[in-house]
A and B are shown apart, each in its own frame.
Chain A
Amino acid sequence: MKLLSLKNVSKNFGALKVTDDVSFTLNEGEALGIIGPNGAGKSTLFNLITGSLNVAAGTIEYDGVDITRSSAAARCLSGIGRSFQIPQPFEKLTVFENLVVAASFGRNLNEAEVTDDCVEILEKTELIGKANAIAGSLSLLERKRLELARAMSTQPKLLLLDEIAGGLTDGECLALVDTIRAIHKDGVSIIWIEHVLHALNSVVERLLVLDFGRVIEQGEPQNVMNSPEVKKIYLGIDI
């Protein structure tokens, strides 16, 4: 069943077309990877799906409802969660409070009703020892974990991950991939932007390639990686 579908979505910043006539669909329970060179418009595409930016043209449908004009907060409430490429914690709040905000607002519940769920997510993401630490004091890995934990706290049906493995050591990356795989197994649909391709390809079932805001290829990871056009773009980058 279709969960998310973008139809002819475009976005421009002035004369620059950052998203150019993008169409794709995501089925329920599917994990889709998005790759492409820097500046291809990957993060912008996320901002359009989550409502941080408004589309210039085209429609976005989620769970059978047209959400093209919905606010970011409303989209979160309907089940779209995200992590940011550069971690954006609520710096002056504690790790636990970061999760409580997301869980209580994102699911429209009281604070007391979400405590147990937040604790569970803190344990899953190995942040429980840092629960009362100020988010601004965390290390990069901890910030990445917090991004994931906060997004999970809203109990999303669709989780958008933006370069969550970037900048981590191999060991850290492996542990994070395990966590993401577990989330996917629980039935959460995932769209994941990532440059660390081995991490990405160990989770996703399908790849989509963006360049200059356009979809230039999509399909099974193996086939996509072998296509001449993708090889051309990634020339010089180890795949």
Chain B
Amino acid sequence: MSQSSKYSVETKTRTSSIFGICLILLVILAVFVPALVSRSVLQDLFFILTMLVLAQFWNLLAGYGGLVSVGQQAFVGIGSYIFFGAIILWGVNPVPAVLLGGLAALALAVPIAFFAFRLQGAYFAIGTWVCAEVTRLIVAQWKQVGGGTGTSMPRDARKEMWGSEWIAQVFDVRASAALDILAYWLALVLVVLTIGGIYWLLRTKRGLGLAAVRDNLEAAESVGVGATRMKWVVFLVSAFGTGLTGAIIYLQKARISPDAAFSLVDWTAFVLFIVVIGGIGTIEGPIIGVLVLFTLQSLFADYGTWYLILLGASGIFVMLFAPRGIWGMITDKTGLQLFPIRRRLTISNKNNEKKGNENG
């Protein structure tokens, strides 16, 4: 931009800068958490982190791309199954096998998108669900990884996992606890990359185009935004991230079955709940949503079906009385933005100098 310009564009706010610093400190602290907390707390944190990644990617799809998929379990499932297949059949070390899980989800997303993109709205949602079910049925035929009953991770693979021996020595824990720590770290890396990556995307020109497509597809195309390509990119990126998460989740569980890995409730319904409760179309929303889900789960999970009814009811409650979620309510009242993406036009240069003089 030229120097003489009266206006400049800003996205940062003061709160967001402070929040950014806090966030970096929090991430550094999180790296050392395994040394400070018990194994069960670590497992809870692992749950929060992995659900957060799934929620961020579903939010990218539905909240920004307008693609309401209820078939994300297809990518968790295929990611975790290729992860297991790579370990059991091809002897790949579990850590790099996670990457193969992600790539498999990416590959599966291409034919799913090819079919599902012909559908709109509710039909798209149903289409993705059907694709997920078909994938589950096919994977259940895969005898080498246990068919319909599933299988466990071989003992050797767990022992030889990159880093696990080092972790066991440094933290002075058994192999199974070392696995939890490794899984936690992988999940932490994934959360940081996911939130960082999505935030970066939304601040670029492409992110602005994505928001335009979300708000009005026809108008977006009329100003030169290639909406179809945008949807493809979002769908493929989300599938890749969801597949990686699936692989990491089953690295920690160390046991897999088609019904669990392709669970609609676990990998799509809960994720949907997180995003809707927290606030769709924001990065902050899923973070709040996952904490709400975790709290409800720790308090009420023992009540079985009643717990699920409670989740559904609270979801409906939020949809009726705060359709933009908890975070939407907070921003409406306070204007707070922790991950600001608004491009604000502000008067700069001369006027700022004047202000400075007055103050000085």
Question: Interface of A with B (CB < 8 Å)?
Answer: 50-52, 71-73, 76-77, 81-82, 84, 88-94, 96-98, 100-102, 104-108, 110-113, 115-116, 119, 131-132, 150-151, 153-154
B221's partner among A71, A96, A119 (CB-CB below 8 A) is: A71
B205's partner among A72, A92, A110 (CB-CB below 8 A) is: A110
Q: How far is the CB of A120 from chain B (nearest CB, A)?
A: 10
A154 to B224, CA, bound (A): 8
Whether the pair A115, B223 counts as a contact (CB closer than 8 A) is no
Given contacts A93-B211, A119-B7, contact A88 B343 (CB under 8 A): no
- Residue with the highest number of chain B CB atoms closer than 10 Å, among A90, A102, A131: A90
Whether the pair A153, B219 counts as a contact (CB closer than 8 A) is no
B223's partner among A76, A111, A112 (CB-CB below 8 A) is: A76
Whether the pair A101, B216 counts as a contact (CB closer than 8 A) is no
> Which residues of B sit under 8 angstroms from A102, Cβ to Cβ?
223-224
5 residue pairs, one from A and one from B, having the closest CB atoms: A102-B223, A106-B224, A72-B221, A76-B224, A90-B215
Closest to A147 in B: B219
Q: How far is the CB of A221 from chain B (nearest CB, A)?
A: 28
Q: How far is the CB of B351 from chain A (nearest CB, A)?
A: 14
Instruction: Supply 25 A–B pairs (Cβ within 8 Å), ascending by A.
Output: A71-B226, A76-B222, A76-B223, A76-B224, A88-B218, A89-B216, A90-B220, A91-B215, A91-B216, A92-B281, A100-B343, A101-B211, A101-B220, A102-B223, A102-B224, A105-B209, A110-B205, A111-B9, A111-B208, A112-B1, A119-B5, A119-B345, A131-B345, A150-B223, A154-B223
The DSSP consensus for interface residues of chain B is: mixed
A115's partner among B7, B222, B225, B226 (CB-CB below 8 A) is: B7
Q: How far is the CB of A193 from chain B (nearest CB, A)?
A: 15
A153 to B225, CA, bound (A): 13
The DSSP consensus for interface residues of chain A is: helix
B226's partner among A73, A113, A151 (CB-CB below 8 A) is: A73
A115 to B208, CA, bound (A): 14
> Which residues of A sit under 8 angstroms from B220, Cβ to Cβ?
90, 101
Given contacts A52-B222, A132-B345, contact A104 B205 (CB under 8 A): yes
Given contacts A90-B211, A91-B216, contact A119 B224 (CB under 8 A): no
Whether the pair A82, B222 counts as a contact (CB closer than 8 A) is yes
Closest to B8 in A: A115
A73 to B221, CA, bound (A): 5
A77 to B226, CA, bound (A): 10
Whether the pair B218, A52 counts as a contact (CB closer than 8 A) is yes
- Residue with the highest number of chain A CB atoms closer than 10 Å, among B2, B8, B342: B342
Does B292 belong to the interface (CB within 8 Å)? Answer: no
Whether the pair B212, A116 counts as a contact (CB closer than 8 A) is no
> Which residues of B sit under 8 angstroms from A90, Cβ to Cβ?
211-212, 215-216, 219-220
Whether the pair B1, A116 counts as a contact (CB closer than 8 A) is yes
> Which residues of A sit under 8 angstroms from B225, Cβ to Cβ?
73, 101, 105
Does B130 belong to the interface (CB within 8 Å)? Answer: no
A81 to B296, CA, bound (A): 51
Closest to A135 in B: B215
- Per the CB 8 Å criterion, the residue count for chain B at the interface is 31
> Which residues of B sit under 8 angstroms from A97, Cβ to Cβ?
208, 211, 342-343
Does B167 belong to the interface (CB within 8 Å)? Answer: no
Q: How far is the CB of A7 from chain B (nearest CB, A)?
A: 23
Does B350 belong to the interface (CB within 8 Å)? Answer: no
Q: How far is the CB of B211 from chain A (nearest CB, A)?
A: 6
Does B227 belong to the interface (CB within 8 Å)? Answer: yes
A76 to B281, CA, bound (A): 27
Does B39 belong to the interface (CB within 8 Å)? Answer: no
> Which residues of A sit under 8 angstroms from B342, Cβ to Cβ?
94, 97, 132
A132 to B13, CA, bound (A): 14
B1's partner among A84, A101, A115 (CB-CB below 8 A) is: A115
> Which residues of B sit under 8 angstroms from A116, Cβ to Cβ?
1-2, 5, 7
Does B6 belong to the interface (CB within 8 Å)? Answer: yes
A104's partner among B6, B208, B222 (CB-CB below 8 A) is: B208
Whether the pair A77, B224 counts as a contact (CB closer than 8 A) is yes
Closest to A47 in B: B218
Given contacts A92-B215, A97-B208, A111-B343, contact A72 B5 (CB under 8 A): no
| Contact residues of B between 128 and 180, Cβ < 8 Å to A | none
- Residue with the highest number of chain B CB atoms closer than 10 Å, among A51, A77, A101: A101
Q: How far is the CB of A138 from chain B (nearest CB, A)?
A: 13
Given contacts A52-B218, A73-B224, contact A92 B343 (CB under 8 A): no
Does B253 belong to the interface (CB within 8 Å)? Answer: no
A115 to B209, CA, bound (A): 16
Closest to A46 in B: B222
Q: How far is the CB of B144 from chain A (nearest CB, A)?
A: 45
Q: How far is the CB of A103 from chain B (nearest CB, A)?
A: 8
A115 to B347, CA, bound (A): 12
A98 to B5, CA, bound (A): 20
A210 to B155, CA, bound (A): 77
A41 to B291, CA, bound (A): 53
